[in-house]
Structure 1
């Protein structure tokens, strides 16, 4: 469907995989894209390894409308995202004169060392993602949007990129509290899902205020009428339940 815009997310960093750094970006990006009408279909987390980054990037960028990456564009030796993306696209990489000029305004010649200059290396043909409040930029090359791993900087970059992205038909959703356990409603819920193939029905268990097992049912669809029909079927099913929790 041409109305559906999809995305993949590539999280880069040994510190994420080791548990030293707790990822705070996946949830933000997922919600942000959902609000734009873009379906986040896949998330991959890879180490600071060039081969792994390139393999994951190639798998995602050929499958989805957009690929977002976070991490690996800082000043240290293991920040290799920009180089890896340049290799994936088969283009060169060099210090971007506009970025270097901004760095010279911020740092003295002594402070502008090799490590800081690494952050000015941008693949050929990439579009910068920067603002007055973002010193070291991200960039967009093809359908790949490369952003910082630091949450506050990544969020600022998303705000810059968002107006330029294609958006699709937004997914609509409704939620109902089942007052039943998942095992009580699994069978009839499966039948409703089969009868309403243009909707997505999710079941999410939780412990309610009485410390009893309960379930939230979420129905999603891009078509308001189909959403309403599926939700009506769900509510009718719940009304006919005779269960004791």
Structure 2
């Protein structure tokens, strides 16, 4: 069985300007790997309507799932919901179920439901809500696009609930080996291993320790037996490799 594929869109001028450090892409990648969904790309874009619409349309057509983070708050530059609705050809307005969720949350805290906060109840027609157990304002799924908040704690909580509703595939397994060599010393061996074992992804990640070069060789695949075969050949070529 082929695993479902996914892409992520991280939305926000604050990310591109360096004012805010993104952690949601890293978190999503790890969770999707466990779920058996192959994350194929991540795009970072600003709060620009035309860019958001075009990016959503492009990735939605290519991947089984598209996950977005950012731009669904109460301020003027939170335009993700409107852009996703446009990209998917749907209308958008305040929806009663989303309004009720927000109203209950603010009433319990004696906070006024003003026009800015009500913007977070605007949901595209036909979308399913994504629960937000942290701050109530829901995300939504429309077609194969899943729209979530940018604040990491909220994004992670929303993702927890969403992934329980999405079917995954086979989990990728991995093994890592560390060698006290430079990449140039091992490149030919890794190239041959990659040619001989197409079911295994082989990556090399160099580092400088201060005393010399090190390289981590990471094997990834769906079958543990395939990784065992590559690992045996790697150890035969480099007996000092440590796992």
Which residue of structure 2 lines up, in the alignment, with residue 25 of structure 1? 24
TM-score, length basis structure 1: 0.92
Check conservation: 2:132, 2:139, Cα contact below 8 A.
no
| Structure 2 counterpart of 1:123 | 124
Cα pair distance change 1:107/1:226, threshold 3 Å: closer
1:88 maps to 87
Three-state SS of the structure 2 residue aligned to 1:101 is: helix
Q: Deviations over 1:114-141 (max 9, x none)?
A: 1111101000010001155441000111
- Residues 240 and 187 of structure 1: is their aligned pair in 2 closer, same or farther, counting only changes over 3 Å? farther
Matches within 5 A, 1:95-114: 95-107=94-106, 111-114=112-115
* 1:214 and 2:204 are equivalent in the alignment: no
Deviations 1:139-191 (A, max 9, x none): 11111110000000000001110111111111111111122111111112111
Secondary structure at 2:207 match in 1: strand
What is the aligned partner in structure 1 of residue 72 from structure 2? 73
Normalising by structure 2, we get a TM-score of 0.93
| 1:92 CA displacement | 0.5
**CA 1:124–1:177: 2 relative to 1, 3 Å:** same
Indicate the SS of the match to 1:53.
helix
> How far off is 1:81 after superposition?
0.4
State how far apart, in whole Å, the 2-side matches of 1:131 and 1:51 are. 27
2:92/2:125 contact within 8 Å kept: yes
- The separation in 1 between residues aligned to 2:71 and 2:100, in whole angstroms, is 22
| Deviation sequence 1:4-55 (CA, Å, 0-9, x none) | 1111000000110011111111111111111111111100011111110011
- Unmatched 5+ stretches in structure 2: none
Give the equivalent residue in structure 2 for 1:162. Answer: 163
**SS at the partner of 2:51?**
helix
- Partner of residue 147, structure 1: 148
Cα distance in structure 2, aligned partners of 1:26 and 1:107 = 30
Q: 180-189 or 116-125: which moved more?
A: 180-189
Alignment RMSD: 1.8
Where does residue 200 of structure 2 map in the other structure?
A: 199
Q: Secondary structure at the match of 1:55?
A: helix
The equivalent residue for 1:48 is: 47
1:111–1:215 CA distance, 2 compared to 1 (3 A): same
Do structure 1's residue 59 and structure 2's residue 45 form an aligned pair?
no
Aligned residues: 239
- Flag structure 1 segments of 5+ consecutive residues without an equivalent: none
